[in-house]
Amino acid sequence: MPTEKQQTQVRKEQIAQAVLSLAASHGLRGLSMAAIARRVGFGATAVYRHFKNKDEVLDAALALVGSRLRANVAAVCEETDDAIDRLYRLLMRHIKLIRDNEGIPRIVFSEDFYSGQPQRRARMYRGIEAYLGKVAAIIRQGQQAGQLDRDFEPGSGALMFLGLVQPAAILWHMSDGEFDVTRQARETWQLFLKAIRRN
Amino acid sequence: MPTEKQQTQVRKEQIAQAVLSLAASHGLRGLSMAAIARRVGFGATAVYRHFKNKDEVLDAALALVGSRLRANVAAVCEETDDAIDRLYRLLMRHIKLIRDNEGIPRIVFSEDFYSGQPQRRARMYRGIEAYLGKVAAIIRQGQQAGQLDRDFEPGSGALMFLGLVQPAAILWHMSDGEFDVTRQARETWQLFLKAIRRN
DNA sequence: CTCCATTGTAAATGCTCGTTCACATCGTAG
DNA sequence: CTACGATGTGAACGAGCATTTACAATGGAG
């Protein structure tokens, strides 16, 4: 047996990360069990020692994405107390996360990921809602502190915040990295700030 | 032969539309030749009378989306000369287009659609760029007319414009229609307006 | 009316891929 | 040290699906 044995816990993480990496280069279509396993250094069938089936593997990858997003929010709240600072840092972290793991948007926005899996779609929906809720909380904090305008709903602001990244991210990877996400995000951030800041 | 004969031109349109309809309910994964053909009222193999292979079928669907988007821009430019009006109407038309053809975002954002097809991805990129260019042109017109602020690039504004719809659209169909896109778009439109309007 | 190009069908092929099974090997508890 | 559970392997199966092929029906041009 050429491959070393490893704990299931370790393997699970490796497999989930392999899904993200592979999705980055080949999307969901080329995401076969064999490809995932090869990435880890496996035969295809070994994956079944750690997961019941492919769906469980994809679920693990999804959970990984969720934990990364939560970590970002926690980090910016650690770094600063200022609402605007928090939002800007979160924006930059979000972009970096996507740049480093191109597979994330490819999976999250891929419809094949959800087709035939209503529970997974529901879980994803709740995950995005939770993320938006945390952004909204930061915005509400800014409104109460008097930095941000009070005449809009924090939820709408949070949605717009997400809109700062999404089109840029899609264009970025459609252009094969040619499109400058970071620069564009900085530009639209200025517009966003003008929209939400107390005049 | 139970099925009536039809002109290739007619069939091509039917097939492309069938792709959009099917993608709406089952994503790209369930999008088999058999399913497409059945939707039209066909056997699977009959599709090959009109298209060389599946890739050509998907390309046709993509072209259909492009023509719909162009039609929207042309329509709003017909309806009014005012830049802000044009943008608002385009936003609403864009939303309606997506609500009526849920398959569009499912295809456009599905990475499987592009994986292994670099030319198609490039074509899509050019298509989005062209759309953004037209939005930017409307914005520039508004800047020259003095309605809109001059201190931001029209391209950035156009990107932000796209960001008004995208997250809302994704949440909409992830929530199975529960999320109110139109209401949210109206809210974020107010924010957008505050961001771009000449104070 | 009669060809024949066009449009359709059914059966068959070959490939990819998820999954199972029987067996080998590692590492650790006792 | 020894057994046994945990982990890994390769072969094989079966389903789904794109595509090809041989054949039938349609319908308009001459």
Query: What residues are paired with B197 via a beta bridge?
Result: B148
SS3 B24: helix
pLDDT of residue A97: 96
Inter-chain contact A152–B28, Cβ cutoff 8 Å? Answer: no
Check whether residue B12 has its CB closer than 7 Å to nucleic acid strand C: no
Q: Sort out which chain B residues have CB atoms less than 8 A from A176's CB and list them.
A: 121
DSSP B151: S
Residues A12-26, mean pLDDT to the nearest whole number: 92
Q: Which residues of B161-191 are buried (b: 16+ CB within 10 A; e: fewer)?
A: bbbbbbbbbbbbbbbeeebebeebbbbbbeb
Lowest mean pLDDT among A107-111, A150-154, B41-45: A107-111
Chains A & B: contacts with CB separation below 8 Å: 140
pLDDT over 50 at B31, yes or no? yes
Q: How confident is the model at residue A2 (pLDDT cuts 50, 70, 90)?
A: very low
Whole-number Å distance between alpha carbons of B86 and B135: 9
Which CATH superfamily hosts domain B53-196?
A: Tetracycline Repressor, domain 2 (1.10.357.10)
pLDDT of residue A9: 80
Whole-number Å distance between alpha carbons of B11 and A62: 40
Side chain identity at B158, as an amino acid letter? A
pLDDT of residue B114: 84
Closest chain A CA to residue B128? A171
Residues B113-135, mean pLDDT to the nearest whole number: 92
**From start to end of chain B, where are the E strands?**
none
Q: Sort out which chain A residues have CB atoms less than 8 A from B87's CB and list them.
A: none
pLDDT of residue B3: 56
Domain residue ranges of chain A, discontinuous segments joined by +: 8-196
Whole-number Å distance between alpha carbons of B102 and B65: 11
Nucleotides of D under 7 A from a protein CB: 6-11, 16-22, 24-27
Mutate to test the interface with A, among B32, B129, B135, B160 (most CBs of A within 10 A): B160
Q: How confident is the model at residue B4 (pLDDT cuts 50, 70, 90)?
A: low
Q: How confident is the model at residue B111 (pLDDT cuts 50, 70, 90)?
A: confident
Could you give the angle at the alpha carbon of B170 between the alpha carbons of B57 and A102, nearest 5°?
A: 80
Q: In this structure, what token pair is assigned to residue B54?
A: 């599946």
Q: In angstroms, how far is the first alpha carbon of chain B from the final one?
A: 68
Annotation: CATH topology of A8-196: Tetracycline Repressor; domain 2 (1.10.357)
Whole-number Å distance between alpha carbons of B160 and B177: 24
The kind and range of the H/E element at A161 are: helix A154-174
Class of residue B107 by CB neighbours under 10 A (exposed 0-12, middle 13-18, buried 19+): buried
pLDDT over 80 at B101, yes or no? yes
pLDDT over 80 at B7, yes or no? no
Check whether residue B164 has its CB closer than 7 Å to nucleic acid strand D: no
> Long-range contacts made by residues B118-127, C-beta under 8 angstroms, separation at least 24?
B120/B55, B120/B58, B120/B59, B120/B62, B121/A174, B121/A176, B123/B62, B124/A174, B124/B62, B125/A171, B125/A174, B125/A175, B127/B62, B127/B66, B127/B69
Q: How many residues make up chain A in this entry?
A: 199
Using CB atoms, pick whichever of A112, A160, A163 lies closest to residue B27.
A112
> CB–CB of B128/B62 below 8 Å?
no
Whole-number Å distance between alpha carbons of A10 and A29: 26
pLDDT over 80 at B126, yes or no? yes
Question: Nearest residue to nucleotide C7 when comparing alpha carbons to its C1'?
Answer: B5
> How do residues A126-165 score in pLDDT, each as one tens digit?
999 999 999 999 999 999 999 999 999 999 999 999 999 9
Inter-chain contact B194–A192, Cβ cutoff 8 Å? Answer: no
Q: Sort out which chain A residues have CB atoms less than 8 A from B156's CB and list them.
A: 184, 187-188, 191
Residues B143-169, mean pLDDT to the nearest whole number: 96
> How do residues A32-86 score in pLDDT, each as one tens digit?
999 999 999 989 999 999 999 999 999 999 999 999 999 999 999 999 999 999 9
Where does residue B178 fall: left (phi above 0), alpha (psi -120 to 50 degrees), or beta otherwise? alpha
pLDDT over 60 at B1, yes or no? no
Using CB atoms, pick whichever of A26, A115, A166 lies closest to residue B26.
A115
Inter-chain contact B160–A164, Cβ cutoff 8 Å? Answer: yes
When the pLDDT of each residue in chain A is averaged and rounded to a whole number, the result is 92
CA-to-CA dists, residue B164 to A34, A50, A166, angstroms: 39, 41, 10
pLDDT of residue A136: 98
Tokens 């209401």 belong to residue = B183
